[in-house]
Chain A
Amino acid sequence: MATAEAAHHEEHHHPSGIMRWITTTNHKDIGTLYLSFSLMMFMVGGAMALVIRAELFQPGLQIVDPHFFNQMTTMHALVMIFGAIMPGFVGFANWMIPMMIGAPDMALPRLNNWSFWILPFAFTMLLGSLFAPGGGPASGWTLYAPLSIQGGMSVDMTILAVHMMGISSVLGAINIVVTVFNMRAPGMTLMKMPLFVWTWLITAYLLIAVMPVLAGAVTMLLTDRHFGTAFFDPAGGGDPVMFQHIFWFFGHPEVYVMILPAFGIISEIIPTFARKPLFGYASMVLAVAGIAFLSFIVWAHHMFTVGMPLIGELFFMYATMLIAVPTGVKVFNWVATMWRGSMTFETPMLFAISVVVLFTIGGLSGLMLAITPADFQYHDTYFVVAHFHYVLFSGAAMAMMGGAYYWLPKWTGHMYDEKLGKLHFWLTAIFFNITFFPQHFLGLAGMPRRIPDYALQFTEFNVMSSIGAFGLGFSQLLLVYVVVKCVRGGEKASAEVWDNPKGLEWTVPSPAPYHTFETPPQVR
């Protein structure tokens, strides 16, 4: 086997150095590229967040001017959503899906290479817009018309970048759908697939369905800006509220694109460290499908205050609250998986448990926001900011960190530094809460978001939040250090790495050889 493998390597003549990475069609290489790109963007977006928090450390204007502050809030969101979270999950998908379903590679390797290599160009364009005349986009990541119609050249660059990211995501999603349907090993029926694969399959469908809608919305913005159309301009018969409808028709499924794979990752981690199979597998799959379906009919809860009729507000309120049911099923199942398990608390498990706890807090504040009459108070306040950071940072980002620690030994062949990993976890979890928990109170007291200055009574909580943010930001350097250290060396990891984990990825040696499952495994 080993010799066959070696011979195989020989005949391929891989280019080395940079050309290996540019021309690679190997799912593991591309997964590594996506993950590295995501980590890089995570740092860039994090630095922007620190600019925001530095300015908000004290009331008054100290460090940046309001226009630049607005650019930072806009760019922080765009970079984190499209640069850190989405590519991060695609990286996990590339690395793990073929190994989890016993496939030798993704179904469309060349397309895979393209989907990744569009991204650096898209983000050069997006980040470059900060240097455009008049500065970067400053209308918030939602690019609401008419504000975004009035912006400078940077808005056009952002629109183009969004188009490129959209193409990249849709291509990546198509690749995943094809892989899952056509590349499974014999015996790997759909209902035997690991939950991570299931969540990604459904996420891929969401991406194919909604990224083109975003592309449509920004295309309309572009033609409104330059080609004399009036989709969103009342003077020509358009309607700015319509932009919000189209945008959030994309935007709400998009938030599930960012959380469903996180659900998948922790559904892999928790059974391993609880040493019990996942509780309620079928209900987990159904819950994910249910959430995905509901995500299409709740979009207007982002815009309760635009002046909808009562019946519309009631519909979107109840539909939104309905999402709590499948999500509750999932949380229940994770807890039930841990119930009476022989739990140990290695770094991945710590992250997974904190995701369950903190994501649930974010989910509950989401329910509060769903209550229409209450939302009129919370709308566009820091309460919303706190809410979506609880679901996106302590949900999506921390699930990815947990997943990275979980699979790093498989990827690199070395154990990561457990002590530093745990330190990274505790610093992240504590500073995260110091940063974002006070923002709930700020929002309830009425502090608006996307404002560089605030009334004096908000000072204490903002100081706390800023201190937490800097702690949180600098703790992430530890993540980079642990990852780099693990890549470079460390204790040899066994094929199983953990204590009898389930899944095909643990049947191949660590590090996973360049080519795995060239002869499909038999799944029983």
Chain B
Amino acid sequence: MTEQAIRQAANRRIITRAVMVAVAMFGFGFAMVPLYDLFCDITGLNGKTGVTDSGSARAQAVDETRLITVEFTGNTAGGLPWEFRPAVAKMQVHPGQVAEAVYVARNTTSDRMVGRAIPSVAPNRAAAHFKKTECFCFSNQELAPGESREMPVRFVVETDVPQDVHTITLSYSFFNAGKYSSSDAGTGTAGSDAIRRGEKG
């Protein structure tokens, strides 16, 4: 009898540990979400761009010895039948210089729609050095039927951008954010946390 009790206690010990591992791994699956965002932010992987406040951007000295071509592209994802394009296809900037580009979006439908632009910068190793000080991608954009809007993005290419980077492409994908428009920045998931982090800079 006591032998059985000892065995049962031993069983329980292993079961408890195994269940704890299982529960922890369930949590780990969710923990991968912020870890993934953090990893991309630090490394600039996935084309995640840097964000900075305009003060520190102005503080940078302009490196007039280098000229970098910044190309702009824009597209819309399925479910958002808008017209969306950059006003100019490319421009040349000095590292450290604050520049502004304009994108134009037009709601071609007869419904009021909410969209959100998600930026991406290529090449990846330049992404962390591409800082936006003002961007229409920081918030949801609501357009009335037929309304069109010019949307500015102000940015700085930092002076410490790698020497072999001569061209940077800034790309926006506009998504239908109607689902997430009830509250300003989404619904409290880790995903929208990333956006909020972006807004704070």
Contact = CB atoms under 8 A, between A and B. Distances in A.
A230 B14 contact: no
Interface in B95-116: 115-116
A309 to B, nearest CB: 6
A220 B30 CA distance: 8
Nearest to A234: B118
Contact of B21 (A108, A208, A233, A235): A208
Contacts of A331: none
Interface in B108-144: 115-116, 118, 124-125
B126 to A, nearest CB: 12
A213 B25 contact: yes
B165 interface: no
Contacts, number: 133
B11 A182 contact: yes
The listed residue with most B CB atoms (<10 A of its CB), out of A181, A216, A312, is: A216
A219 B30 CA distance: 9
Contacts of B26: 212-213, 215-216
A150 B144 CA distance: 26
Interface string B154-177: 000000000000000000010111
B182 to A, nearest CB: 8
Contacts of B179: 228, 230, 233, 235-236
Interface string A164-181: 000000100110011001
A21 B25 CA distance: 33
Contacts of A211: 22
A242 B19 contact: no
Contacts of B153: none
B77 interface: yes
Interface in A242-271: 242, 245-246, 249-250
A34 B55 CA distance: 67
A239 B77 contact: no
Nearest to B25: A212
B67 interface: no
Nearest to A235: B175
Nearest to A176: B18
B37 to A, nearest CB: 8
Interface in A15-39: none
B61 interface: no
Contact of A174 (B7, B18, B45): B18
A230 B180 contact: yes
A386 B201 CA distance: 48
A272 B125 CA distance: 58
A239 B11 contact: no
B180 A309 contact: no
Given A182-B11, A212-B22, A309-B43, A236 B30 contact: no
B80 to A, nearest CB: 8
Contact of A249 (B14, B32, B194): B32
A18 B186 CA distance: 52
Interface in A160-207: 170, 173-174, 177-178, 181-182
Contacts of B187: 228-230, 236
A177 B192 CA distance: 40
A238 B189 contact: yes
A216 B30 contact: yes
A235 B77 contact: yes
Nearest to B27: A216
B180 A241 contact: no
Contacts of B19: 174
Nearest to B175: A235
B36 A230 contact: no
A47 to B, nearest CB: 33
A241 B46 contact: yes
Interface string B22-48: 111111111011001100000101100
A208 B22 contact: yes
Given A230-B192, A242-B32, 19 more contacts: A170-B22, A174-B22, A178-B15, A212-B22, A213-B26, A217-B29, A228-B187, A230-B189, A231-B189, A232-B191, A234-B77, A235-B175, A236-B187, A237-B118, A239-B36, A239-B37, A242-B36, A249-B29, A312-B45
Interface of B: 7, 10-11, 14-15, 18-19, 21-30, 32-33, 36-37, 43, 45-46, 77, 115-116, 118, 124-125, 173, 175-177, 179-180, 185-187, 189-195
12 contacts: A177-B18, A213-B29, A214-B29, A216-B28, A228-B179, A230-B186, A230-B189, A234-B173, A237-B189, A239-B46, A249-B32, A309-B125
Interface of A: 107-108, 170, 173-174, 177-178, 181-182, 208-217, 219-220, 223, 228-239, 241-242, 245-246, 249-250, 307-309, 312
